[in-house]
Every structure is written in structure tokens, then in C-alpha cells.
Amino acid sequence: MERVEELLKAPVTIIDDPNGKKLDSFRNNIEFRKCASPTKDVTILENINLVVGKGRTIALVGSSGAGKSTLADLVPRFHDVTSGELLIDGVISRTIPSAPSGTDEHRNTRTHPL
């Protein structure tokens, strides 16, 4: 129970750009450009360069703990890169709201965890 409370009270580390605009469509590709680890303490990802075209299927292959989930989690902004950029149709992902903005559900989830 203490662990659950700890998680619920954990600070939100994803900061949304107040001037960011949501993407209304996805047309071309997702690009990882020199992306590095999402944590400052440990290097999980380093200098990741990858372009994934819309509609393409790719496989991330590596041993357990290699960083596959960490890499995939950058796309929905479960965490952000510490250097480099993730671009979606050329738009820097850090400028795209991390969840549908302007909804009560979004606001409650992120700033008033239970």
C-alpha cells in the first residue's frame, strides 16, 4: 500500500510546453534523432538515430533490459529524451502536449492524482 501511495504521489516529470500545439494528423514519419537516455543518472539509450515511416512495421530486438520499451515509450511521451530530439512529422515531440489537452480527465490525471 505504501508503494502504491508513493507511485500516486510521484511528481509529474513531463512538462508540457504552454505554447505547444497538438497534432491533428500523422502523415509521414517518426524520427529519433541522436536520442539519449530518458534518465540523467543512467545511460539507457545513446545516440539513437531511426526513421520510421507511417505504416511501416519495425522490430526492436535486444535482451531484457536493453531499452526496447524505453525507446518505444518516448513516442507517447511517457518520458522525454535528455538530448537529441524525437520528431513526429518534423515536429519536436516535447512541444506536443503529452495527452489530449483541455479535458478534465487529462487535468485530473496529471495534477490531482486521487
Ligand X SMILES: Nc1ncnc2c1ncn2[C@@H]1O[C@H](COP(=O)(O)OP(=O)(O)OP(=O)(O)O)[C@@H](O)[C@H]1O
Query: What is the contact surface with ligand X in residues (CB under 6 A)?
Result: 39, 42, 44, 62, 64-70
Q: Kindly state the smallest distance separating residue 50's Cβ from ligand X, in Å.
A: 15
Cα 104 from chain centre: 21
User: Which of 49, 69, 108, 109 touches Mg ion by CB under 5 A?
Assistant: 69
Could you tell me if 102 and 16 are in contact, meaning their C-beta atoms sit under 8 angstroms apart?
A: no
Could you tell me if 33 and 91 are in contact, meaning their C-beta atoms sit under 8 angstroms apart?
A: no
Identify the three-state secondary structure at position 26.
Answer: coil
Residue 84 contact partner, candidates Mg ion, ligand X, none, CB within 5 to 8 A by sort of partner: none
Q: Residues interacting with Mg ion, by CB under 5 A? A: 68-69
